[in-house]
């Protein structure tokens, strides 16, 4: 399990917390570390806030390099009503370096609405998970096992 936030938070701990530009620089560095680690493994779950191919800008982890990985790629696409996703985002506690305290709840909701409209990334086979309700983890595992 390789989680970009774990990498980013280690960078915050080692290099400090700063402004939005600093957070963006560390986030891009964490993207590169995630990519190098993924290249070195024979298989892993890669967790990140991925930049959708239709999005312009530098928010989120780029996805272009994922297709160069060896083995099967399975995208686990979480479907959740934007209102629930925004509420959960506001309630979670993350490292101060993420600067979540600077995000307005209206902007967070707008971002989730836009993300939901874009849909899956379109990488590999797809497992769709409805996270707006109770999750059937055994069912998800069966779907994932069937892909490998």
Q: What pLDDT does 62 receive?
A: 95
Angle subtended at Cα 49 by Cα 45 and Cα 50, rounded to the nearest 5 degrees: 80
Return d(Cα 136, Cα 71) in angstroms, integer: 26
Strand partners for 126: 75
Domains and CATH numbers, the chain: 2-147 (3.40.50.300)
Return d(Cα 82, Cα 108) in angstroms, integer: 9
Chain segment 67-119, per-residue pLDDT in tens: 999 888 999 999 999 999 999 999 999 999 999 889 999 999 999 999 999 99
Chain segment 50-61, per-residue pLDDT in tens: 999 988 888 899
């Amino acid at each position: 399990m390789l989680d970009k936030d774990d990498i980013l938070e280690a960078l915050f701990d080692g290099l400090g917390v700063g402004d939005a530009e600093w957070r963006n620089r560390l986030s891009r560095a964490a993207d590169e570390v995630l990519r190098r680690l993924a290249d070195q493994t024979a298989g892993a779950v890669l967790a990140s806030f991925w930049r959708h191919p239709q999005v312009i800008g530098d928010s989120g982890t780029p996805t272009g390099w994922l297709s160069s990985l060896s083995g099967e790629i399975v995208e686990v696409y979480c479907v959740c009503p934007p209102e629930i996703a925004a509420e959960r985002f506001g309630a979670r506690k993350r490292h101060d370096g993420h600067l979540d305290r600077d995000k307005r709840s209206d902007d967070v909701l707008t971002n989730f609405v836009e993300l939901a409209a874009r849909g899956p990334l379109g990488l590999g086979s797809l497992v769709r998970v409805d996270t707006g309700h109770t999750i059937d983890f055994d069912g998800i595992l069966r779907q994932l096992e069937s892909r490998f």
